[in-house]
Chains A and B, each alone.
Chain A
Amino acid sequence: MASKVLQAIYTDDDILMEAVKSVRANKYHIEEVYTPFPVHGLDKAMGLKETRLAITAFLYGIVGLVVATAMMNFIMIEDWPQNIGGKPSFSFIENMPSFVPIMFELTVFFAAHLMVITFYMRSKLWPFKKAENPDLRTTDDRFLMEISVNEKNHKELTDLVYNSGATEIKLKDN
């Protein structure tokens, strides 16, 4: 038998939060919640793990710094050292102060862009990607919770969701 989900639609973020808490307290599994705006504390209430994107940004920043340093060392010191205005470029460390601006810029460049690209890949966002929110109103003012449901628990779960203030309840194949 195909697995089914119960879709409960709420009209308010506070009611949704209470509903999420009560569904979790009753040991049901929340598949997904779609909201029109970031509801603070929802990720914790749902038991989502913390995102590690900030860590990737830090690592990408280090990559940017290394790339900038290696590039300028190769170009200015190794490949074609020049004597510019009586300031010869034969030592990286002596020339480093004038490389600082670009070392900084490339650190930011790599950290920002690669982190955002990682986010787009992880959250499956790109042009021509089809949206997957099950109800069009979830980008406006409705909040939709999907809970996995089966033959045995559907009655109790419907009761629970109804009592938590869901305005519409639907059953969908997952």
Chain B
Amino acid sequence: MSHYEAPIRKPLITGDKSYHDVTLDVVRPVEGKANKSWWIVFSISLIAFLWGLGCIIYTVSTGIGTWGLNKTIGWAWDITNFVWWVGIGHAGTLISAVLLLFRQKWRMSINRSAEAMTIFAVVQAGLFPIIHMGRPWLAYWVLPIPNQFGSLWVNFNSPLLWDVFAISTYLSVSLVFWWTGLLPDFAMIRDRAVKPFQKKIYGILSFGWSGRAKDWQRFEEIHLVLAGLATPLVLSVHTIVSFDFATSVIPGWHTTIFPPYFVAGAIFSGFAMVNTLLITMRKVSSLEAYITHQHIELMNIVIMITGSIVGVAYITELFMAWYSGVEYEQFAFLNRATGPYWWAYWSMMTCNVISPQFMWFPKLRRSIMFSFFISIVVNIGMWFERFVIIATSLHRDYMPSAWTMFSPTYVDIGIFVGTIGFFFVLFLLYARTFPVIAQAELKSILKSSGEKYKKIRAEKGDDAPLHDPYKQEAKPDFTNEFNK
């Protein structure tokens, strides 16, 4: 069996790891006890979540008037947060689907957590439109139900309804993709579990996975097809989110560049969030051998490229506003850059266009601390991008007497902080109970991309046997069993 991989490729699994070592490293956070820092971060997140929950209850029981919205700015933090979270939720499927189609092996140690992040982020995103309905118990009215039931059918011409279908398809398909990949890893934890309760729980979660050759054959086919389906899906989701704006007639929203520009921005912010989470997780859960400097560098390169695409989109928007000759469009963009919200515009420009350019320097993109810092900066910048597009385009409309500013109330802020808390609560619970690395898949590339085996090949040639020495038990004789 040849496991050849060009020696120039850096190892994706460092250290002398055998198959069993991978198992041990992946189950350690699950079987071990949580340390102090986990409890501290978890408590802070839980408090933020509960605070947000309180603000949501207050909003729903009192009304949307508790937010800072006004007659001119009818959409502000709610939809900003919605788009921000959906954008973050793009990296997971991108990593597991697009990188699978491109056969990028480095995806294997990060796809599990990136997909978890995707699902948790989309959950946060979904909260905002539902709260903004004011009467969330009528949320099912977005479903195509007969008009005898409510007032009318839903309107299939509306981008807001397209969003309902896009986000729910994305969430459910990502969930299934994630769970199917989890089955063998849950089975691994199940088969190692000593306590009956754990064995029972992981037995249920693993759906009775047994690892037959036929199951694996189907498993791989399923993943390939799901990746093929999820790739256009992930691109369609943010395209459709951008249609919420692009199909309107508001200057600053009414631009054809929105779909690719939003998708690039989504990948940009999603990868930044993956970097934020994984740089922390590799340290806390001692996974440095699997989430290596090489992984972080590759993600930084994706951040650099998508950040540059976003930068080109910003400049194209400015150019098109001028070139169109439409004075309202020109005003909208001039007002963004030099109006009362100039600070939001220039924060966005600095965080999203300038900061990723540092990644051209190998020294900087290989620095863990610097990558972590930039990943936070990028997500702040991407929040400002949505705020700039949404609130700044609305605050000075066609009628100067209606011009106004937006100031968030503590409820606006509370709900946003609450979703961040909720997101981290989910992610921290995940980090302690789920196999955070797709260990089964990773084992399949251990011989081609593991440092140990790369070394053996370098020393003994490409055809050297790659198995560890093994001890055979004495050869049994079954004559007695057959003569019974």
Contact B470–A11 (Cβ < 8 Å):
yes
Contact A11–B467 (Cβ < 8 Å):
yes
Contact B472–A167 (Cβ < 8 Å):
yes
- Give the residue name and chain of the B residue nearest to A15 (CB): B467
Q: Which of B6-14, B130-138, B169-177, B344-352 contacts A (4 or more CB under 8 A)?
A: B169-177
| Binary flags per residue of A150-174, CB closer than 8 Å to B gives 1, else 0 | 1100110011001001111111000
Interface residue? B180 (CB, 8 A): yes
- Give the residue name and chain of the B residue nearest to A129 (CB): B208
Contact B467–A126 (Cβ < 8 Å):
no
Contact B157–A84 (Cβ < 8 Å):
yes
Known contacts A112-B176, A116-B222, A141-B23, A169 near B467 by CB under 8 Å: no
Complex: A155 Cα to B478 Cα, angstroms: 8
Q: Which of B68-76, B209-217, B416-424 contacts A (4 or more CB under 8 A)?
A: B209-217
Residues of B near A125 (CB, < 8 A) are 183, 207-209, 215
Contact A166–B472 (Cβ < 8 Å):
yes
Contact A14–B1 (Cβ < 8 Å):
yes
Q: How far is the CB of A140 from chain B (nearest CB, A)?
A: 5
- Give the residue name and chain of the B residue nearest to A1 (CB): B482
Contact B213–A48 (Cβ < 8 Å):
yes
**Residue of B152, B213, B230, B443 touching A42 (CB-CB under 8 A):** B213
Chain A interfacial residues counted at CB < 8 A: 88
Q: Which of B427-484 contact A (CB under 8 A)?
A: 439-441, 443-444, 447, 465-468, 470-473, 475-479, 481-482
Contact B218–A119 (Cβ < 8 Å):
yes
Q: Which of A34-52 contact B (CB under 8 A)?
A: 34-43, 46, 48, 50-51
**Residue of A14, A124, A131, A171 touching B481 (CB-CB under 8 A):** A171
Interface of B is mostly: helix
Q: How far is the CB of A81 from chain B (nearest CB, A)?
A: 10
- Give the residue name and chain of the A residue nearest to B187 (CB): A139
- Give the residue name and chain of the A residue nearest to B20 (CB): A141
Q: How far is the CB of A20 from chain B (nearest CB, A)?
A: 9
Q: Which of B188-196, B312-320, B327-335, B354-362 contacts A (4 or more CB under 8 A)?
A: B188-196
Q: How far is the CB of A84 from chain B (nearest CB, A)?
A: 6
Contact A17–B210 (Cβ < 8 Å):
no
Complex: A122 Cα to B203 Cα, angstroms: 19
Residues of B near A54 (CB, < 8 A) are 221, 224-225
Known contacts A76-B153, A104-B236, A137-B191, A116 near B180 by CB under 8 Å: yes
Residues of B near A124 (CB, < 8 A) are 208
Known: A133-B211, A150-B482; 14 extra A-B contacts, CB below 8 A, are: A37-B19, A37-B439, A37-B443, A39-B213, A42-B213, A79-B147, A98-B156, A101-B162, A101-B240, A106-B169, A108-B169, A130-B208, A132-B208, A139-B188
Q: Which A residues contact B (CB, under 8 angstroms)? A: 4, 11-15, 17-18, 32-43, 46, 48, 50-51, 53-54, 57, 61, 71-72, 75-76, 79-80, 82, 84, 87, 89, 95, 98-99, 101-102, 104-106, 108-109, 111-113, 115-116, 119-120, 122-133, 136-141, 149-151, 154-155, 158-159, 162, 165-171
